[in-house]
Amino acid sequence: MTTLATVRRRRRTGLLVLFALMALSALAGVAVGARAIAPAEIYDALVHALGCAGGPFACPAESSIEEIVRGYRIPRTALALIAGLALGATGALIQGYTRNPLADSGLLGLNAGAAFFGALSVCLFGFTDPGQYIWFAMTGALIAGLIVFGASSIGGGRAGPLSLVLAGAAVTAFLQAMTQAVVLFDASVLDTYRFWVVGTVAGRDAAVFWQVLPFITIGAVMALAAAPGLDLLGLGDDVARGLGVNVERSRAFGLAAVVLLCGAATAAVGPIAFLGLVVPHIARRFTGPDHRWLIPYSALIGAVLLLFADTLGRVVTRTGEIQAGVMLAILGAPYFIALVRRKKMVSL
């Protein structure tokens, strides 16, 4: 007979395994590419940077390997790691709050809001660098989230799962139409938009990582804090109220975490929505419906998968690379189809 202590021990062991996989994936992300770099060379480059009098970020590279490691691969790998964490946790939160196993980060209009404001900033101000338009994309995700939550509560109603989905679908359709109008109006916007919308961590420097890190950190803390209330909401709003939960406040708090996590990650790497769709189903096989475990498992699995997809995309083609968003769709679609056929969809 399986005891509660045994279950908890297995879950803790699973977390340690995921941390180890994430570390190995990050190491592979730095070492693997058009030019393979040995772990010893990576270590030497980092030690040299840490030993600089001006600090590791002001230390000039003394070789091409140092330039590749510190100037390109470490920022890219670090961004993939935190974006994967954010999108994985976002998927678990959205599926929990909407009680919809097919929900992802695009359901509440966050991706569409980030895309519209990002495209608008490129059109109006001529931004082409991710570090420039990322703030507009995050603002767009925030505004879209507020509109969806407000629209679902119009008329004194409550922002329940069904009203959130309907409001999100309406806002998403409107923002996508507006984005297409902006993109078709200016060819330069189309060039930037089509590279962003496919979902990639390529071409991002350390500045982008540091810009989104505070938002993802705050969102991750809020997501973990929202987990107990989300478990009670899963019993139904009436039952949750009977147990003393302020349903509207709890749902608003969790959706604020979603906006921070998804908005920052999407603004930085593009709408890799498939990650948030598949990851919670993988995590749920090990944790069950308990969001206190499901959210951290989803975050870690999301980081491992995004790191793996980004690394694999660099080596499958010799003349270039396949973007992480494309690789995740290629790898994840067969798994998700098999999951649907075998289980008729995982229940929440």
**pLDDT over threshold 70, residue 51:** no
Give the CATH number for residue 194.
Answer: 1.10.3470.10
Q: pLDDT value at position 156? A: 52
Q: Residue 91 domain-assigned? A: yes
Tens-place pLDDT, residues 294-317: 999 999 999 999 999 999 888 887
Residue 250 lies in a domain: yes
Q: How far apart are the C-alpha atoms of 232 and 239, rounded to whole Å? A: 8
Which H, E and C letters describe 245-300, residue by residue? CCHHHHHHHHHHHHHHHHHHHHHHHCCCHHHHHHHHHHHHHHHCCCHHHHHHHHHH
Is residue 340 over pLDDT 80?
no
In a domain, 13, yes or no: no
Residue 330 within any structural domain of the chain: yes
Span 142-193, pLDDT tens digits: 888 888 877 776 655 555 667 777 888 888 889 889 888 888 877 777 777 7
Torsion from C-alpha of 311, 276, 328, 309, nearest 10 degrees: 10
Split at pLDDT 50, 70, 90, the class of 216 is: very high
Give the per-residue pLDDT at 252.
82
Residue 250 lies in domain? 38-44+57-343
Number of domains present in the structure of the chain: 1
Backbone Cα Rg of the chain: 21
Cα–Cα distance between 329 and 336 in angstroms, integer? 10
Q: Does the residue 302 lie in any domain?
A: yes
Give CA torsion, residues 224, 237, 277, 261, to 10 deg: -40
Q: What is the pTM of this model?
A: 0.87
In a domain? residue 32 = no
CB distance 138 to 263 below 8 Å: yes
- Percentage, residues of the chain above pLDDT 70: 89
Q: Which residue has the tokens 């890219």?
A: 76
In a domain, 320, yes or no: yes
195 in any annotated domain: yes
Residue (of 303, 307, 310) closest to 327 by Cα position: 310
pLDDT, position 60: 62
Q: Which residue has the higher pLDDT, 285 or 103?
A: 285
